Amino acid sequence: MNNGKSILTTKIKASGKFYLLLAAFLVTAFSGFAQTRSEALLTDNWKFYRGKNDAAYNKSFNDKNWQTVSVPHDWAIAGPFDKEIDKQVVAIEQNGETKPTEKTGRTGALPYIGEGWYRKTFRISNLTKGKRVLIQFDGAMSEPRVYFNGKQVGEWNYGYNYFYIDVTDLALADADNVLAVHLNNRPQSSRWYPGAGLFRNVHLIVKDEISIDNWGVSITTPVVNEQLSKVNIKTKITGSNVRLVTQVLDAQGKEVVSETTEKIFGNEFEQNIAVANSKLWSPETPYLYTAVTRLYQGDVLKDEVKTRFGIRTISYQQGTGFSLNGVKRKFKGVCLHHDLGPLGAAINVAALKRQLTILKDMGCDAIRSSHNMPSPEQLELCDEMGFMFLAESFDEWAKPKVENGYHLYFDKDAEKDVVNLVRANRNHPCIVMWSAGNEVPDQWGAEGVKRAKWLQDLFHREDPTRPVTVGMDQVKNTMQSGFGALLDVPGLNYRTHLYEEAFEKFPQGFILGSETASTVSSRGVYKFPVVFAKNKQYNDLQCSSYDMECCDWSNLPDDDFVLQDDKPWVIGEFVWTGFDYLGEPTPYDDYWPSRSSYFGICDLAGIPKDRYYLYRSRWNKEEPTLHILPHWNWEGREGQTTPVFVYTNYDSAELFVNGKSQGIRKKNNETHQSRYRLMWMDVKYEPGTLKVVAYDSTGKVAAEEKVVTAGKPYQIVLNADRKMLTADGKDIAYVTVSVVDKNGCPCPTGTQQLKFNVKGQGTFKAVCNGDATSLEPFTKPTMKLFSGKLVVLVESAKQKGNIELAVTGSSLKGAKINLKAN
């Protein structure tokens, strides 16, 4: 097992000016790219048992009656939801609470607590003398204890981290090998839904004894220029009398340059390779090269590793803030928890790609993994699709937030956890910053300052090219103690009223909004009167989508917009959160049923809320945005004041109700909201048509949008994010289901119970309606609409062919949609 030790001792300059250069990423899933090395995902035919079983590690144990599952797997996502699961009586200090109250949905009210066993039997077809066998885990929730052929071979504590184990001495060439993993999830071990099980991929790696080390390739670009860039490649190996050949390929797979070296220092080769006519990586142009590294002994190829990388330079400087490739910019980022809504914590590439596609359309260009280490798949997609990444490590240090949190392991494990985080991911061009922690209670006192410095030095030792931040919520304390001053990048979580003071007192010369807004809303739900409110609660346990409500400790989006636009020393923001997530149902932590968050710009099903278009109107500079809220189905509100908001990147617009003008509104500086929203606060509701006409800077009509009062729900409508799937048994299509009236007008208040049936080369995977109070399971093929919509997930089979999804509901005309697995 990787022991977390490092020979790298270079340190980054800790304040003032930073020149932080490229990254690339280590490929983890190239199978059979050389006869000398093979890598396979251990995906199918795992045996799973929920509970305690002291004999399950034995190779001869009979697991025939255990459940057969595929990995990645989350054993808890099927439910049921239960308020007694992980019920906590606590005061959430991060939220300003001083008195303990009963929290029933804080960790999602799903059955993740307890022990679980996974067993996998397999043969290693290419195992011969002189080969090494590694098992690599991308994450296992949690406290994995690993057994191979009846012997314990390793363990880890942190469920979000990557680790690998050398099992060569126990591996059998011509017989069954048995891998067994025991997991244990303690109560009160998380502040959100952590998931349960082997929720990330497990790799089997077979290579020569003379080979490139696991995570042994490190690529940086110390000189970046479109005419000529210098690519520095360090390669750690095991063996002697060897030479290294590195070939750089462009995005089309054509050779750019090749270099050979026999000079080795200790166990490491170092090459400096010139790349002419460099194409630079950025969110707008995420260009990726590939380094093919071949290790030879004499004329015999011993190993080959492919590493994708991007050429780019980053800098953080007093006065100018953050620059990418020499161009100043501000982060337009969101925070993301690791769960994928109805899929739970189990990683799925199609689900991750859908999230990023939705965020890309919004104009988002950066992701913060909150508050844990990201999956390799998420980072690979951010490399490919063009997202900068703030890779976070811990939610706790030595001082606890929850009884059984990471503080139990910090003193013993923090160094090796940081080492593995960096070495596994340091080559991703998307990563532009590391985070050592989030709102840690260690912000108080001298010990916390020492821990912050120790962790930052660890990151610098392992990666001298990127800065380190911490998401700070106790900003006054960090000003006094020196905690904030020592960080490479001072990150403020909320505390907009302290930005000016922090800028004056911190020496770095810039401030990052490491966590912003925490505005709460429920998709398609609107409350009256429309007024600014903090910690507002309603009998239906929903939040208003007028985007005027936030928490006691947070603020509205517009407050951050002003800082981002007016203060050149604010280098960007990461909004809490891009998508709703399971658990942490603020402001209903102590109400039931409420089991998921309201913070998302998109709901738990991935359907954009109104606030999506507010951010899009600022962030997406390529396409126009014109969005009206609320819906216009308000039976019983006739004649009552029903304010209308418009989110648009046009400066002015005119509102009409049934053809009658309600006046023109123009963005102005009277309030933070009027600067970014067009608002008609005195509109009286009458059924019919609500229309907005936007005007360009010359006063000409530029665009228009309308909302119509719908009649009774009549027909189901289906819309898939894509219709062609890969026949690999894990690709997923997301089908949005809505209802319309006889005239085809969407029915925004529909709550009908629907049923789903999938035929052909696909299966029903899950369903989600985005309602934080729904206790219907995600894994059963029936669910009620919420605000007129829900999303059905259809998973491909491993055989090619047609797939049909049929959706029915009482008193509704059903609908079918055809997909294809190819």
What is the DSSP annotation of 545-586?
TTS-EE-TT---HHHHHHHHHH-TTEEEEEEE-SB--BS--T
Select which of 515, 549, 573, 776 is catalytic.
Answer: 515
Classified by CATH at the fold level, domain 634-708 comes out as Immunoglobulin-like (2.60.40)
Q: Which CATH architecture has domain 715-821?
A: Sandwich (2.60)
Tokens 């042994």 — which residue? 216
Domain ranges for the chain, please list them: 38-208, 317-364+397-419+439-602, 634-708, 715-821
| DSSP reduced 3-state for 193 | coil
The strand pairing partners of 313, in sequence order, are 21
Task: Answer yes or no: are the C-beta atoms of 270 and 244 closer than 8 Å.
Answer: no
**How far is the C-alpha of 429 from the C-alpha of 560, rounded, in Å?**
27
**Rounded to an integer, what is the distance from CA 424 to the centroid of its chain?**
17
| Residue 382: φ, ψ to 5° | -65, -35
Task: Determine the Cα angle at 244 with ends 240 and 245, to 5°.
Answer: 160
**How far is the C-alpha of 436 from the C-alpha of 451, rounded, in Å?**
10
Nearest to 679 by CA among 701, 705, 711, 653: 653
**Which amino acid would we find at residue 204?**
L
| DSSP reduced 3-state for 197 | strand
Copy the structure tokens of residue 811: 């008193």
Contacts 24+ apart (CB under 8 A), 56-62: 56/117, 56/119, 56/180, 56/182, 57/147, 57/150, 57/152, 57/180, 57/182, 58/150, 59/149, 59/150, 59/178, 60/150, 61/119, 61/180
Cα dist from 636 to 523, 642, 657, 682, whole Å: 21, 12, 17, 17
**Burial of 585 per CB tally in 10 Å (0-12, 13-18, 19+):** buried
Residues present in the chain in total? 822
Contacts of 198 (CB under 8 A, 6+ apart): 46, 71, 72, 73, 118, 137, 140, 181, 183
**How far is the C-alpha of 161 from the C-alpha of 267, rounded, in Å?**
26
Please state whether the peptide bond connecting residue 80 to the residue before it is cis, i.e. omega within 30 degrees of 0.
yes
**How far is the C-alpha of 15 from the C-alpha of 12, rounded, in Å?**
9
Cα dist from 462 to 4, 166, 271, 583, whole Å: 10, 22, 19, 34
Question: pTM for this one?
Answer: 0.94
Tokens 């919509």 — which residue? 789
**Which amino acid would we find at residue 544?**
S
The strand pairing partners of 793, in sequence order, are 734, 766
**How far is the C-alpha of 822 from the C-alpha of 733, rounded, in Å?**
13
Task: Answer yes or no: are the C-beta atoms of 591 and 537 closer than 8 Å.
Answer: yes
**How far is the C-alpha of 609 from the C-alpha of 802, rounded, in Å?**
32
**How far is the C-alpha of 817 from the C-alpha of 667, rounded, in Å?**
43
Nearest to 178 by CA among 137, 132, 120: 120
Helical (H) or strand (E) element with 332:
strand 331-336
**How far is the C-alpha of 49 from the C-alpha of 197, rounded, in Å?**
10
In the prediction, which pLDDT does 1 show? 45
Count the neighbouring beta carbons within 10 Å of the beta carbon of residue 222.
14
Are 317-364+397-419+439-602 and 715-821 in the same CATH fold?
no
The strand pairing partners of 760, in sequence order, are 803
State the number of CA atoms in the 13 A half-sphere of 194 facing the CB: 31
CATH superfamily of the 38-208 domain: Galactose-binding domain-like (2.60.120.260)
- Give every residue of the chain whose pLDDT is below 50, as ranges: 1-34
Select which of 439, 573, 654, 776 is catalytic.
Answer: 439
3-state SS of 462-490?
Answer: HCCCCCEEEEECCHHHHHHHCHHHHCCEE
**How far is the C-alpha of 235 from the C-alpha of 248, rounded, in Å?**
14
Supply the Cα-derived Rg of the chain in whole angstroms.
27
In the prediction, which pLDDT does 11 show? 28
Mind giving me the DSSP string for 776-788?
A: S-TTSSEEE-BTT
Supply the DSSP symbol for 614: H
**Burial of 169 per CB tally in 10 Å (0-12, 13-18, 19+):** exposed
Strand pairing of 762-768 and 732-740?
Answer: unpaired
**How far is the C-alpha of 651 from the C-alpha of 339, rounded, in Å?**
37
State the number of CA atoms in the 13 A half-sphere of 489 facing the CB: 30
List the beta strands (DSSP E) in 80-124: 88-90, 101-103, 114-122
CATH superfamily of the 317-364+397-419+439-602 domain: Glycosidases (3.20.20.80)
Annotated active-site residue 439? The verdict is yes
The strand pairing partners of 25, in sequence order, are 308
State the number of CA atoms in the 13 A half-sphere of 379 facing the CB: 31
Annotated active-site residue 515? The verdict is yes
Count the neighbouring beta carbons within 10 Å of the beta carbon of residue 280.
23
SS3 content of the chain, % helix, strand, coil (to 5): 15, 40, 45
**How far is the C-alpha of 803 from the C-alpha of 805, rounded, in Å?**
7
Condensed to tens digits (0 to 9), the pLDDT of residues 39-82 reads 999 999 999 999 999 999 999 999 999 999 999 999 999 999 99
Count the neighbouring beta carbons within 10 Å of the beta carbon of residue 535.
15
Copy the structure tokens of residue 422: 């960096």
**How far is the C-alpha of 167 from the C-alpha of 153, rounded, in Å?**
7
Nearest to 757 by CA among 724, 735, 742, 786: 735
Count the neighbouring beta carbons within 10 Å of the beta carbon of residue 800.
13
Strand pairing of 114-122 and 177-185?
Answer: antiparallel
Nearest to 769 by CA among 807, 797, 818: 807
**How far is the C-alpha of 172 from the C-alpha of 189, rounded, in Å?**
38
Count the neighbouring beta carbons within 10 Å of the beta carbon of residue 634.
17
Task: Answer yes or no: are the C-beta atoms of 20 and 316 closer than 8 Å.
Answer: yes
Copy the structure tokens of residue 187: 């109560």
